[in-house]
């Protein structure tokens, strides 16, 4: 690894991964998604293919481009290691998403909505009949273009849930299992921990994360009202009256 590698994180472009990770970490901190140094973001550089990863143990609202780790997107070896910092324990999970899901970015938050839903639901988070579901990809493809189609508003959104482990790198095998069982999923909830969301670009991963957090918050409120989040549209009133 070369010692003169700061060029990898030195850019005035606000969309450069080193700068964008810092901006998003600050935004996610303000949303209470990444507090107490928890959570993380990784972005693949669209031109070089290098993988930029937020470090461990740095307060998200104070993160700087100089804090970024940079990983070779082909052999997954470090190209840049910031002095005095530790790599994120999520790095093996990020790498798995890049390698097996062709991700362009991964967002990991400790969202209270995700954690609460992990206490309410069993092996799957499920919600049906909500407009925001249209942001989530489905298992269907356009027959003429082959492009993956999003869910319809009255479809059921399903996100798998895995059990937490003492260390985040121990989640790699369960995550690989999710890739096999749910090949079309864009996220996984880790019980009592948080959520990982990935997409082909950071813009798409951010949209998916925001949409899922909205759906999880709504699911918690529906649960509090006695309404199953995946009940059929029009059946809500019978559950409310029973509650």
Task: Give catalytic residue positions.
Answer: 131
Count the alpha carbons within 13 Å of 230 in the hemisphere toward its beta carbon: 11
Tokens of 16: 């450069």
Burial class of residue 35 in the structure, from the number of CB atoms within 10 Å of its CB (0-12 exposed, 13-18 middle, 19+ buried): middle
Residue 193, marked binder: yes
Tokens of 113: 């909505």
What are the residues facing 74 on neighbouring strands?
none
H or E element at residue 222: helix 202-224
Q: Are 220 and 117 in contact (CB under 8 A)?
A: yes
Dist CA 40 CA 233 (whole Å) = 36
Dist CA 195 CA 209 (whole Å) = 9
CA 55 to chain centre: 16
DSSP state of 86: B
CA 136 to chain centre: 13
Residue 50, marked binder: no
Residue 108, marked binder: yes
Q: Which residues are annotated as a binding site for substrate?
A: 90
């Amino acid at each position: 690894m070369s010692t003169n590698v700061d060029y990898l994180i030195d850019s005035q472009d606000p969309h450069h991964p080193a700068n964008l990770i810092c901006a998003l970490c600050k935004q996610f901190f303000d949303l209470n998604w990444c507090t107490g140094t928890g959570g993380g973001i990784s972005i693949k550089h669209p031109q070089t293919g290098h993988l930029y990863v937020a470090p461990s143990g740095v307060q998200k609202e104070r993160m700087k481009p100089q804090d970024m780790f940079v990983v070779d997107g082909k052999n997954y070896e470090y190209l840049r290691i910031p002095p005095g910092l530790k790599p994120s324990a999520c790095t093996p999970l990020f790498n798995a998403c890049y390698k097996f899901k062709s991700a362009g970015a991964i967002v990991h938050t400790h969202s209270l909505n995700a954690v609460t839903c992990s206490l309410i639901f069993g092996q799957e988070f499920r919600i049906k009949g909500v407009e925001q579901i249209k942001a989530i990809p489905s298992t269907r493809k356009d027959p003429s273009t082959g492009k993956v189609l999003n869910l319809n508003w009255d479809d059921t959104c399903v996100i798998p849930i895995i059990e937490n482990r003492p260390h985040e790198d121990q989640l790699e095998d369960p995550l690989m299992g999710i890739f096999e069982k749910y090949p079309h999923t864009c996220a996984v909830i880790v019980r009592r921990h948080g959520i990982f969301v990935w997409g082909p670009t950071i813009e798409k991963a951010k949209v998916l994360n925001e949409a899922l957090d909205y759906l999880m918050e709504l699911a918690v409120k529906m649960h509090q009202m006695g309404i199953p989040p995946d009940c059929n549209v029009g059946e809500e009133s019978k559950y409310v009256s029973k509650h």
